[in-house]
Amino acid sequence: MPTQAVVIGVDSSTQSTKAAFIEAATGRTLAVGRAAHQVSGDHGARETDPEVWWNALREAVAIGLRESGVSASAVTGIAVAGQQHGLVVLDSSGRPVRPALLWNDTRSAPQAAALTEALGGPEAWTARTGSVPVASMTAAKWQWLRENEPRAAKATAAVRLPHDFLTERLSGSAATDPGDASGTCWYSTATGAYDPRLLELVGLEADLLPEVAETGATRVGSLIDAAAEDLGLPTGIAVAAGTGDNMAAAVGLGLGGAGLLDHPALSLGTSGTVFAATRTRPASPVLAGFAAADGTYLPLACTLNCTQAVDRIASLLGLSRDTAEAGGEVVLLPYLDGERTPDLPAASGLLTGLRHTTSRQQILGAAYEGAVVTVLRALDEVLRACGTDPADADVASRPLRLVGGGARGRYWVETVRRLSGRPLLIPESDELVAVGAAALAAAAASGEDPVALASRWQGGRAAHLPPVKRDMETWERVSEVLERATPTLLTR
């Protein structure tokens, strides 16, 4: 049984909760407890009862304790990294007024467009928040609630993000961090505080919001008695402010602070995201100009349709995901749930270029290509937001850190290599969000720098794949279809 201090990093994602038990001194993963969530809704709706997240956290911690063999008394800290943007509304007793609206709920697209116009356009928003409202952003969801469920909005005594909700249950403190707060569109990355003008615009009182801690590693309290009893952990251990899932992944990768800056990462999960830590404050209308968890910035682009969309195409074709072949003339834009980058919330999938000779395997391969081209085009925008030119030879030669479930898929890796032409670095850990959260927990307990700590934990444990010749023919074919189809997709 380990004798060293142990910290718990929690990844509360769209589909599940993972609780990673990490040795604070070595970064060794002792166990990862897992528990599933339930997501409901159709026709653009995506909702989960926040109590599901708490119950899943309790189950995941119990499993982690059992499988790790760790004595609960060895645990010194805990931090939560949560899915970004979700709107949690609580009553005066701290209980949910209604199920949370999740980040991938696209019903608030009209409200996002109206808010953008109301402030004076995309540039006005990026000057304040670094981001332009899209359906994902919390401000748009709050506006949707006000317009569509005014009784629920009126009954709201507190507004939280998903990770805030869990952190408050752990510590009793209403706290968030700059990283996750920067995904709301009512927090200003220019001032490092909630923006009174934006709160006025969405009719939200500042006292309904949590305090913003200095960083995600800030200790915002101690584990309270009720939470300790629920989780089987000692009362009084450190609770960090925590952060959003993308910010935690950046910490887990050692990006930011004195670590790697302007080095991009691509996460292949339910959504596809690209991001890089930078000291340059991003202000691009096509990106989310987030703050990071450690005082730097995290320009990020998110695509809604990634592994889940490709898996759906594979299912429709009756194929396993690794039986794909290069698409040839076929182009498939797998925008099955609308899209965020590019901003096409009402889009559906598009298939073109079919021939009598086209095989099912090529159609599946085209789905991979459509998803990867979409996310790599977004990567170019992230690099520009860092003040670098994606076409510069030095920038293009930097390894692309590939993470998420898709990074374990052979054909995903092959497609990213072929269409990016970049060397790839695939970290050994499958749970970078949870590892990043654990580093925040360890920092809250010890005062160490979380990025440096995570870098030491990783210790260079990653697979290095050299670049291959870039497939510009496929790149240009998919890009041409995307650009030609965008006006049609926008009007659907």
Give 320's DSSP letter: -
Q: How far is CA 429 from CA 152, 172, 235, 237, 425, in A?
A: 41, 31, 30, 26, 12
Distance between CA 292 and CA 255 in Å, rounded?
10
Of the candidates 78, 74, 68, the residue with the CA atom closest to the CA atom of residue 28: 68
244 is written with which tokens?
Answer: 């959003």
Whether the Cβ atoms of residue 88 and residue 103 lie closer than 8 Å to each other: no
State the residue for tokens 């970290």.
427
- In terms of Cβ atoms closer than 10 Å to its own Cβ (0-12, 13-18, 19+), residue 94 is middle
Whether the Cβ atoms of residue 456 and residue 25 lie closer than 8 Å to each other: no
Whether the Cβ atoms of residue 19 and residue 10 lie closer than 8 Å to each other: yes
| Neighbour tally for 205: CB within 10 Å | 10
Of the candidates 332, 410, 344, 336, the residue with the CA atom closest to the CA atom of residue 369: 332
Whether the Cβ atoms of residue 180 and residue 84 lie closer than 8 Å to each other: yes
Of the candidates 328, 295, 316, 347, the residue with the CA atom closest to the CA atom of residue 452: 295
Residue 471 falls in the annotated catalytic set:
no
Distance between CA 172 and CA 236 in Å, rounded?
11
120 is written with which tokens?
Answer: 């004076």
Find the catalytic residue in 105, 177, 195, 245. 245
Number of H helices, E strands in the chain: 17, 24
Distance between CA 137 and CA 87 in Å, rounded?
9
Catalytic residues: 245
